[in-house]
Amino acid sequence: MKKLFVDLEKLNKCGEVAAKCSYYYHPKNSGITRLREIGQFLYICRHCEEAPCVNACPKEAIERQSDGIIKRFTMRCISCKSCSLACPFGTIPLDTIPYIISQCDACIDRSDKEEPICVKTCSISDAVKFIEIEESDKNDIYLVGKHVAVHVVPWKKVHP
Ligand code: SF4
Ligand code: SF4
């Protein structure tokens, strides 16, 4: 089964990312933006115990879950970007925390022959693909659910 592959390393080096999205009900939806946010919090974020991003939020819209993963509650977020500025590690690119939320369902009802429109239109070449790919620690490929894979060099805590 093909997956939507998002190269976070490539996208993070390229400033603002533009890719069309076929989500019908929200014409400005950017599924790739949403996937970037999820991937960053899963694999790049240090999961700080005293998280500066959480402490900086004036709306209690960003929380550290019991498993350490940071989650932004989009209905409370006002997109003030304070969390992004407070993070000492650059985990939260400004354009990944928009006021109007986007969603991505990885176009899961698409056949393996049809490429999602984000793949065809992403402004950064080869950063978004629709391919057969498996998780690989060696190649820094990690799954985000069953239908999405990201390329990212993760932050790993080194235990003594
Ligand atoms: S952008 Fe949203 S989550 Fe971040 S500090 Fe502002 S209100 Fe909180
Ligand atoms: S401050 Fe940055 S690295 Fe720390 S938990 Fe928040 S987003 Fe993650």
For the chain, what is the domain count? 1
Q: Which sign does the torsion angle of CA 152, 153, 155, 160 carry?
A: positive
pLDDT digits (tens, 9 = 90+) for 52-73: 999 999 999 999 999 999 999 9
Integer Cα distance of 158 and 160 in angstroms: 6
Q: Which ligand ends up closest to the CA of 73?
A: 1
In this structure, what CATH number is given to the domain that contains residue 16?
3.30.70.20
Question: Does a structural domain hold residue 108?
Answer: yes
Query: By alpha-carbon position, which residue is closest to atom 2 of ligand 2?
Result: 87
pLDDT at site 146: 93
pLDDT (mean) for 16-35: 87
Question: Does a structural domain hold residue 12?
Answer: yes
The domain of 139 spans: 3-151
Question: Does a structural domain hold residue 158?
Answer: no
Per-residue pLDDT band at 158 (split at 50, 70, 90): low
Check pocket membership of 62 for ligand 1, CB cut-off 6 A: yes
Query: What b-and-e string marks burial along 103-115, b requiring 16 or more CB atoms within 10 Å of the CB?
Result: ebebbeeeeeeeb
Question: Does a structural domain hold residue 156?
Answer: no
Question: Does a structural domain hold residue 47?
Answer: yes
**What's the burial of 46, exposed, middle or buried (CB within 10 Å: 0-12/13-18/19+)?**
middle
For residue 88, report the distance from its CA to the centre of ligand 2, in Å. 7
pLDDT at site 159: 52
pLDDT at site 26: 86
Question: Does a structural domain hold residue 130?
Answer: yes
Question: Does a structural domain hold residue 160?
Answer: no
Q: 């592959």: which residue's tokens?
A: 5
Question: Does a structural domain hold residue 30?
Answer: yes
